[in-house]
Structure 1
Amino acid sequence: MTHELKEIIQQAFVNQQKGITNILATVVDLDGSSYRKPGVRMLLSSDGKISGAISGGCVEKEVQRRAQSVFKNNIPKVIAYDGRYRLGCEGILYVLLEPFVISPEFVSAFSENNKERNAYTITSFFTKEDEALGNFGSIIEFNNSQKFSFNTAFSLDKTAELTIFKQLLPPLFRLLIIGGEHDAVKLCTQATHLGWEVAVVCSIKDPKTLADFPGAKSVTAQTPETIQLSHINKHTAIVIMNHNFTYDLRWLIKLQEYTPAYIGILGAAKRREKLLNELFDFSPDISDDFLDKIHTPAGLNIGAETPEEIALSILAEILSVIRNKEVFSLKKVTGKIHN
């Protein structure tokens, strides 16, 4: 959800420069089941455009229609959308509609927080009723205790009787791709579509640029022995795709210094034992925790053959690891998909 909010904020700031007013729609509660869960947001603009989505596409127009009163009187409200008779979700969504005004100071603080890869919280205050008007609104708080209100008229002092929805949003998930060939480009493209922040490290013998990797945040040419990496943690996955055994080994030796959530390596299954044996020779004290992070060959066994399919299988495996999910077909699920 972090990348969705980032896009909403960027669009809202652009709209403000053009004199277009904005309303932020946030799903703050849910009775039953729904396609999306509380915490999902979309931007409604006075020019009739919508950025983002809070469902599979069936709720947005109704929310936009019912938000017109907020555009007219600038008073936030909560609406209930009963999908039991119109959707296949059998749930009632409660959506907070609030005027959305962001200052340059807020944009700067949000950008700095993302740069430092810190989590942040958003707290929304509302009443769980349909067509309810009141002192409703949301507060965003960053790691350095900076706070900003989405609705400038919202008063935090008058919220004693209101319901609270609090959400912790992690930093953008980061993918570090080590390699610069065609398959690395495909992986980069698909990862950016997920909203991930992608950095690419290629060989100094074959340097590449940002133009070679559309959507990437950075592209550098480095060796594992000289590179200085930052922000490698549980919000980071690394995929090594050099197609070179020796280079892969050098990178594994280097990466022992860091704690990513996942390390994937391309290559045939038969090279895995050789690679790990040589890693032990260079680093006999290597930790079991680091070894558990290594996935080679990278990806899920979905029969992938093309570079695009291989990228899909790798990204799916990364998601299964960071979400701590055992992989199987959803048709085997008899209860709720999400806990």
Structure 2
Amino acid sequence: MKKIFEAYHRASAQQLKTALATVVALEGSSYRKPGVRMLISEDGKMTGAVSGGCVEKEVLRQAQSVFKDNIPKIMTYDGRYRLGCEGILYILIEPFSPSVSVVDNFQEILKGRKTFQVSAYYEKKDATNPLFGSMFTLGGTPQVFRDDFKPDSSLSIFKQNMSPCFQLFIIGAEHDAVQLSSFASKTGWEVTVVADVSEEKNISDFPGALDFISCLPEALETEQIDHQSAVILMTHSYVKDLKYLLRLSDTEPVYLGLLGPAKRREKLLNEFLERHPEVSDSFFDRIYGPSGLNIGAETPQEIAVAIIAEILSVVRDKEPMMLKNKIGRIHS
């Protein structure tokens, strides 16, 4: 949704109409699930996806009537004989032209890391209807995606709760931190790089990073580290890692990774306990070190993949395994 609003801003600056495509229902199985979205602009550019790549061309074709008459529609896509997924997708395509106040409110949601709900009104059949449409709700106040949309409770409603974007705090500024920043941002995470003031680097050195903080460990502000956050210590300095770990002792990220071998981890945690003996047991439950899954990673790029994979397994509460050994459906 964040990328969609960004794409809308670019398109509106060029005075291009945009349409929002949302998978609102599914029969059977599919590569993507209800709630995935894609923004289409008049010039054919697409942001996001509603499938593994097979449906997008048809959505683009169907969106032309929405650009022409500004009336939303439902299109169905039967993938049983084309995608091999044995599923039928119901996709809502609607004009996307939120007002300035709605765009501003959405930006406040992002900054405040607030949870909100998106609701889409539709019928489960191929149809064109001016009553179809979507909105998000914040504090009980509806924020419509186009000014002429008024929710009709007689229609089917797809509701989706949207949590704040997942955050990754990378504490360290060496080459492996650069690679992790790049890979994590491509995953869709909001990346903040934290570096000691002695490091002569800035945000331009970290592809995909949203923010760069240069500070001493004692001065690190930790209020923004919440349950939708992961932190990894990778300064390559034992002393710095210890100081940052002490600063993080009152935080509750879902994952706190330590780069380096097990022997270094034990030494680090023992010294941490000597200095901060009153820390809760739950703090240690969130620590993962050596950070990353055992996939034979050697290069900085491979190590980044291993770390991201482990964070995902923790966040999704999944035991890593080869899918060929999984019994039953691949996706839940």
Alignment of 1:87 onto 2:88:
no
Alignment of 1:72 onto 2:68:
yes
Alignment of 1:155 onto 2:150:
yes
Identity %: 50
1:14 is matched with which residue? Answer: 10
Alignment of 1:282 onto 2:278:
no
User: Could you tell me how far 1:147 is from its partner in structure 2?
Assistant: 2.6
In structure 2, distance between residues paired with 1:333 and 1:133: 43
Question: Which of 230, 242, 250 is the aligned partner of 2:235?
Answer: 242
User: Could you tell me how far 1:30 is from its partner in structure 2?
Assistant: 0.3
User: Could you tell me how far 1:130 is from its partner in structure 2?
Assistant: 1.9
1:267 is matched with which residue? Answer: 260
In structure 1, distance between residues paired with 2:220 and 2:287: 20
Helix, strand or coil: the match of 2:117? strand
User: Could you tell me how far 1:146 is from its partner in structure 2?
Assistant: 4.1
Alignment of 1:197 onto 2:162:
no
In structure 1, distance between residues paired with 2:200 and 2:211: 12
CA contact (8 A) 2:102 2:144 kept: no
Matched length: 332
Superimposed CA distance per residue, residues 91-123 of structure 1 (whole angstroms, 9 cap, x where no aligned partner): 000001111102221221111111111111100
User: Could you tell me how far 1:185 is from its partner in structure 2?
Assistant: 0.7
CA contact (8 A) 2:258 2:265 kept: no
Alignment of 1:223 onto 2:219:
no
Q: Which runs of 5+ in 2 are unaligned?
A: none
User: Could you tell me how far 1:220 is from its partner in structure 2?
Assistant: 2.1
Compute the TM-score of the two structures, normalised by the length of structure 1.
0.94
1:48 is matched with which residue? Answer: 44
Question: Which of 294, 301, 317 is the aligned partner of 1:324?
Answer: 317
User: Could you tell me how far 1:8 is from its partner in structure 2?
Assistant: 1.3
Alignment of 1:28 onto 2:24:
yes
Helix, strand or coil: the match of 1:37? coil
**Greater mean alpha carbon deviation, residues 131-140 or residues 77-86:** 131-140
Shift in alpha-carbon separation, 1:46–1:262, aligned structure 2, 3 A: same
User: Could you tell me how far 1:132 is from its partner in structure 2?
Assistant: 4.5
In structure 2, distance between residues paired with 1:248 and 1:308: 22
Compute the TM-score of the two structures, normalised by the length of structure 2.
0.96
Question: Which of 109, 116, 119 is the aligned partner of 1:120?
Answer: 116
Helix, strand or coil: the match of 1:243? coil
Alignment of 1:109 onto 2:102:
no
Question: Which of 302, 311, 315 is the aligned partner of 2:304?
Answer: 311
Q: Which amino acid aligns with 2:146?
A: N
Alignment of 1:137 onto 2:130:
no
In structure 1, distance between residues paired with 2:213 and 2:46: 36
Structure 1's consecutive aligned runs of 4 or more residues displaced over 6 angstroms after TM superposition are none
